[in-house]
Amino acid sequence: MDASLATAFSPDSVLLQRSAGSWREAIGLAGEGLTTAGIATEGYTAAMIHAVEVNGPYIVIAPGFALAHARPSEEVLRWGMSLVTLAEPVQFGADAHDPVYVVVGLAAVDKDQHIAALMALGEKLADPEFVNSLLKLSRFDDLIHLLS
């Protein structure tokens, strides 16, 4: 599964050491990576933000780590992920897991892809140093090496 996790990202979907003034801006950056890479439309970014507005910060799934996503829809052009590391952390209102330094955007065309990607990420997040390793990335190739 790690190989497919590595293939989910492209140089266009990885935004390192970016600035965001709010959780909405942080998710917007994740959406920008998905849109620029041709993974999803801007409508999908709006859906990711809307999901948190409606359901709360459930996307903050580990300390310092948020997994932005929405339901599979026609806004998803193909399966893939984006990665945003934040120069300064952002509060999502997730108590124990705040503040967030890393946001991964996930776009899946169906529930099976969605679940498989969540499981692969969950395995990586089981290592408490994984988020710290993401924060140290300086190039796209470093991410691929980390995931392989």
Give the strand order in the sheet containing 14-18. 14-18, 80-90, 100-107, 65-69, 60-62
DSSP labels, 87-131: EEEE--S-GGGPSEEEEEEEE-SSHHHHHHHHHHHHHHHTSTTHH
C-alpha distances in Å from residue 71, one per residue of 44, 45, 49, 107:
9, 11, 12, 8
Instruction: Tell me the pairing of strands 14-18 and 60-62.
Output: unpaired
**Is 107 within 8 Å of 31 (Cβ atoms)?**
no
**Is 46 within 8 Å of 105 (Cβ atoms)?**
no
3-state secondary structure of 69: strand
Residues recognised as catalytic = 69
